[in-house]
Structure 1
Amino acid sequence: MTNVTHSFHIVTPNDTNHEDDSVVSNDFSTTLGALILGLVFLLGVPGNLFVVWSIVARIQRRSVTTLLILNLACADGFLMALTVFFIIYLAKQSWVFGNVMCKGVFYLCNTNMYASIFLITLMSIHRLLAVVFPRRVSRRITRKVVRRVILGMWVLVMLISLPSLVFRDVRVDSDEKDKKRLVCAPNHTLPRHVRFQYAFETVSGFFLPYVIIITCYVMILRRLRQTKFQRKVRSENLILAIVVTFGLFWLPYHVINMIQVAAEWYPDNSPTREILDHIAKSSRAVTSALAFISSCANPVLYTFAGKSYIKQNGLAFMAKLFEGTASEQTGNKSRVLRNNGHNVGDSSNTNSSTQNGVIQ
């Protein structure tokens, strides 16, 4: 360990680079964060593995939404596996995994954060297209196209997560009792680096995706009000629940990001900056742990959505749920044609099938 300290940046009271941003500096925050992450790990890893198994092993013909949910479960499950590092970090109040893992683990966390929100955004966009242009969606948005879009999304999230790889290092920190410990902390050398990283993360990983999502659902509601049937289908409710859940659990994390950015606009000795810094430092561990909850919440949502299938289908209930959302479009279109007796090109038939045919 003595050799390790020479390879890391040592923080001293006079060091201008020191941000005192260690998430392990507050005993209550670290204890609460470790407990939350422990529960998240126990629920999230088996829950997301069950979702992946349900789709891969039980569903042969996967819809667009099912493919997106599969990727979301993979991203969430991988993120849940990484919580082991953070539980140990918070419990020991010291980073014991080295500098490479410090950069790598936080980079992978950011990558999966972006992947989760981008996949949810793609679900909302596809939902909009399926409602407004049902026939074009069925003809043009094939599984091959969807796979290419998903692959491009993964490449994009790996690129935009690079700041978390660059602005992160292991350093030696000292507490009030002059006790040394290793912390995996941001290594911003200039205030503009702090403003760039946290503002970029919140704008690209939360604000802009949610603007797109909200816009999609406003347009969907406007379209549904123009139709005769005012009925939501299971797929719409499921996607909307995923969107709301992600927003609720990630909002505190991004609020802390913005507080951190705001603090950097004030002089070093400003009382306002000290207050904002204290809020950010004391809340970072808890808000980060809450953000992790969103990744274990989706399997719970799927379970509630598919509870009507549990008694009849057993462990295959989740696969039945996803198959049900995929069959809503073709099933509802057939019923409209049978009940109305109109040609496919009839406007009333088109309106009915547009509303009910919401998923592929």
Structure 2
Amino acid sequence: MPSGNFSNCSRPFDFQHTLYAITYTAIFIPGLLSNSVALWVLRSFITKNNKAIIFMINLATADLAHVLSLPLRIYYYINHSWPFKHFACLLCFYLKYLNMYASIMFLTLISVQRYIFTANPFKAKDWKRRYDVGISICVWVVVGTACLPFPLYRSSGGNTSTTSCFADLGNNQINMVTMSVMLIFAELLGFIIPMTVITYSSLRTRTQLKLNSMQSMNRKGKDKALRLIITCACVFFICFAPYHINFFFYVMVSTNAIQNCTAQKIILTFHPISISLASLNCCLDPILYFFTASEFKSEMARRSSSMIHGRLMSRESASSI
């Protein structure tokens, strides 16, 4: 997040505009289509007894919000100029981090819920859908509030041009105490705790599966639960772990706590790469729906068949006139 006052030996950012333009262009169409289809299909499960559907809908919503902001990002990184309002820049900047931390929270909740319901089937029967709705609202309020400092501490003042945005924005001055609190908060609550919870849920579900390997009826459900949790873990470690591991050192470089030129160049070079990886979650999250829920695939196939049948009937009606 912080731009900082980097030394002359540590500014290897010439490639980042090209990297962002390529990454966001590659993500936009797949992310838009997959998350739109996911929301279209998942909403049909709201009235059914499917676990984690509410969390999946919120996850797809978070991804879609970020994807819809990508055209403005692509325009900026191709043209190197921001002709839109400064508020639009900060909003796109905010949606990036909102998507990241909302996705982390919902991936964690999906993992925890599926593990608990797999280990304790009776809890699943007593669990009400409104509980998931309440938890989701709390997540959006907490994450939405926690992400506000990211755009609030950005500015267009100082040496930053009014046509600059995103990675080229200046940073308002922040004292070391505030910076340390923000860093600890982001790393602990946004990465370390979710990583621990997701890892624990994955390992415990795998153990449960082995303990009940002789119970064929239980095994099928546990296999699906294990696939879901492992997919959550893979998305988390591929997309969010590199960013948060590098982010700690990035802050150290921005505050000149790390002064070795070689270390600075490595950290600052990897920073845009880690941000690009974080954006890939918009395309990887739909794997949760497509490849871990047989009901989702069946419903998608049914809807596709209905659409094709409807178009064929329309053509037949038109040709008969």
Is the TM-score greater than 0.5? yes
How many residues matched?
293
Residue in structure 2 matched with residue 40 of structure 1 by the alignment: 27
206, 209, 213: which one pairs with 2:191? 206
Offset, 1:49:
0.4
Letter in structure 1 aligned against 2:235: T
CA distance in 1, matches of 2:162, 2:154: 19
CA distance in 1, matches of 2:245, 2:136: 28
Evaluate the alpha carbon distance shift between residue 68 and residue 307 of structure 1 in structure 2; reply closer, same or farther with a 3 A threshold: closer
CA distance in 2, matches of 1:49, 1:312: 15
Query: Over residues 192-244 of structure 1, what are the superposed CA-to-partner deviations in whole Å (9 max), with x where a residue is unaligned?
Result: 44444344323221211111111222333333333333834224313321321
CA distance in 1, matches of 2:240, 2:155: 24
CA distance in 1, matches of 2:74, 2:192: 28
CA distance in 1, matches of 2:115, 2:265: 42
CA distance in 2, matches of 1:236, 1:136: 18
Tell me if 1:242 matches 2:227: no
210, 223, 234: which one pairs with 1:225? 210
Query: Over residues 253-299 of structure 1, what are the superposed CA-to-partner deviations in whole Å (9 max), with x where a residue is unaligned?
Result: 112201113335655xx742x44443343333332122111111122
Letter in structure 2 aligned against 1:226: L
Q: Is the 8 A contact 2:155 2:170 kept in 1?
A: yes
Offset, 1:50:
0.3
Offset, 1:305:
4.8
CA distance in 2, matches of 1:116, 1:29: 24
141, 145, 152: which one pairs with 1:159? 145
TM-score (normalised: structure 1): 0.70
Q: Where do 5+ consecutive residues of structure 2 fail to align?
A: 305-321
Residue in structure 1 matched with residue 284 of structure 2 by the alignment: 297
Q: Is the 8 A contact 1:44 1:296 kept in 2?
A: yes
**What is the 5 A alignment of 1:118-129?**
118-129=105-116
Residue in structure 2 matched with residue 332 of structure 1 by the alignment: none
CA distance in 1, matches of 2:175, 2:47: 53
Residue in structure 1 matched with residue 129 of structure 2 by the alignment: 143
Letter in structure 2 aligned against 1:263: V
SS of residue in 1 equivalent to 2:169: strand
CA distance in 2, matches of 1:132, 1:213: 15
Letter in structure 1 aligned against 2:144: M
Evaluate the alpha carbon distance shift between residue 95 and residue 295 of structure 1 in structure 2; reply closer, same or farther with a 3 A threshold: same
Evaluate the alpha carbon distance shift between residue 305 and residue 17 of structure 1 in structure 2; reply closer, same or farther with a 3 A threshold: closer
Evaluate the alpha carbon distance shift between residue 294 and residue 236 of structure 1 in structure 2; reply closer, same or farther with a 3 A threshold: same
CA distance in 1, matches of 2:129, 2:299: 30
CA distance in 1, matches of 2:97, 2:224: 31
Residue in structure 2 matched with residue 75 of structure 1 by the alignment: 62
CA distance in 1, matches of 2:230, 2:111: 8
Q: Is the 8 A contact 1:169 1:187 kept in 2?
A: yes
Offset, 1:147:
1.0
Evaluate the alpha carbon distance shift between residue 280 and residue 172 of structure 1 in structure 2; reply closer, same or farther with a 3 A threshold: farther
Evaluate the alpha carbon distance shift between residue 315 and residue 252 of structure 1 in structure 2; reply closer, same or farther with a 3 A threshold: farther
Residue in structure 1 matched with residue 245 of structure 2 by the alignment: 255
Offset, 1:53:
0.2
Letter in structure 2 aligned against 1:116: S
Q: Is the 8 A contact 2:91 2:151 kept in 1?
A: yes
**Deviating more after overlay: 39-48 vs 276-285:** 276-285
Residue in structure 1 matched with residue 169 of structure 2 by the alignment: 184
Q: Is the 8 A contact 1:29 1:283 kept in 2?
A: no
Residue in structure 2 matched with residue 324 of structure 1 by the alignment: none
Q: Is the 8 A contact 2:156 2:162 kept in 1?
A: no
CA distance in 1, matches of 2:152, 2:293: 43
Letter in structure 2 aligned against 1:245: V
CA distance in 1, matches of 2:110, 2:236: 13
CA distance in 1, matches of 2:28, 2:191: 23
CA distance in 2, matches of 1:280, 1:75: 28
Offset, 1:186:
3.1
Q: State percent identity of aligned pairs.
A: 23
Letter in structure 1 aligned against 2:230: L
Q: Which of the pair has more CA radius of gyration?
A: 1
CA distance in 2, matches of 1:137, 1:305: 18
**Deviating more after overlay: 100-109 vs 226-235:** 226-235
TM-score (normalised: structure 2): 0.78
Offset, 1:54:
0.6
SS of residue in 2 equivalent to 1:233: helix
Letter in structure 2 aligned against 1:164: F
